[in-house]
Homo-oligomer: A and B are copies of this chain.
Amino acid sequence: MNDHPSSGPVTPDSRALGGVIPPLCTPLTEDRELDVGSLERLCGFLLDAGVDGLFVNGSTGELAYHTDALRLAALRVVRRVAGGSVPVLAGAVDMTTNRVIAQARAARDAGADAVVATVPFYSPTHPGEMADHFRAVRDAVELPLWAYDIPGNVQRKLPAQVAAGLAGDGVLAGLKDSSGDLDELRTLLELTEANGARAAGFAVLTGSETMADTGLALGADGIVPGLGNVDPHGYVALHWAARRGDVKEAVAEQARLRRLFALTRVGDPARIGTYSAAIGAFKEALCRRGVIATATTPLPMRPLSDQERTEVGRHLTEAGLGPV
């Protein structure tokens, strides 16, 4: 797998950004305020596990649910705890260009090392306008800009052809692929290999919890798994196995993490696929592991039932994950 032609002889530090970069959960107090102590502990837990970066205000970080003030407060805490040891990426997600620019500037001022933005959403957008959008954001904010390709949330996919063009022009520093479309991911890697963007440092990360080993095998530089909040050691082990070409070990670790991911599908079938099920489970697991103080989720997410919480606990036990 280390022979993969589009990844070349990668060493862990040969890219500006790669490896395991968890999208942090945003711990809340029972009053639904930012729980600073829990967030500090979560950062410490992840850094101790050996992650390569921290992504704050991603979808797993409940970006859609928090006010600008809470988003920025979380970013400042993460920035402070990271202390420059690893890069901090911050979501600058909003509906369209001007609003994204406002988010990105605020994130820059709060200490982000890079910002992450989606294609425009809410209003139907002409494909050509997607590129203009990223160009305008990049022009307005002096920070590396990452594209966040998450069509399930924003309705439209950033085509690999468009992303590759932006990478070739230096507009995009990287892309986080949460589309689940590994064929397009591969096309993006091929196109950016061909146009020189990869050689110039353009990085590609996969957001998949369950196909992370495959994404790395295809040439991705790193992984951004929501489940990495709960088991960062697992994803760090998976990543290093893949990097050193130990496919058997990477696949075995991925298989274990695939089973653990079932904690996002406990309880009411009507709820599967919602964010309150997935994020509720991540937070419940972090509580049970002693990392954060409460599993509180923001409005209007409904909390897990007692039975669902017990199921989450069972999945932790089966994965061999206890209190830390």
Residues of B within 8 A of A65 (CB): 95-99, 123
Whether the pair A214, B210 counts as a contact (CB closer than 8 A) is no
> Which of A11-19, A178-186, A224-232 interfaces with chain B?
A178-186
Given the interface contacts A126-B270, A127-B270, A153-B122, does A298 sit within 8 Å of B67 by beta carbon?
no
A97 to B4, CA, bound (A): 45
Distance in Å from the Cβ of A52 to the closest Cβ of chain B?
24
> Which of A41-49, A73-81, A273-281, A285-293 interfaces with chain B?
A273-281
A132 to B128, CA, bound (A): 32
Cβ of A124 < 8 Å from any Cβ of B?
yes
Cβ of A315 < 8 Å from any Cβ of B?
no
Residues of A185-240 whose CB lies within 8 A of B: 186-187, 190, 208, 210-211, 214, 217-218
The contact of A125 among B181, B186, B210, B275, by CB within 8 Å, is: B275
Residues of A122-170 whose CB lies within 8 A of B: 122-130, 132-133, 136, 152-155
Nearest to A153 among chain B residues (CB) is: B122
Distance in Å from the Cβ of A209 to the closest Cβ of chain B?
10
Query: Could you list some 7 contacts between A and B, CB below 8 A?
Result: A59-B122, A63-B122, A64-B121, A66-B98, A67-B102, A123-B274, A183-B210
- Other CB < 8 Å A-B pairs besides A4-B251, A124-B274, A214-B217, 18 of them? A1-B1, A64-B120, A64-B121, A65-B99, A68-B102, A97-B298, A97-B299, A124-B153, A124-B275, A125-B274, A126-B276, A127-B270, A130-B300, A136-B299, A183-B211, A186-B211, A186-B258, A247-B247
Which 7 A-B residue pairs are closest in the complex by CB-CB distance?
A: A132-B300, A64-B95, A64-B122, A3-B248, A133-B300, A97-B299, A123-B275
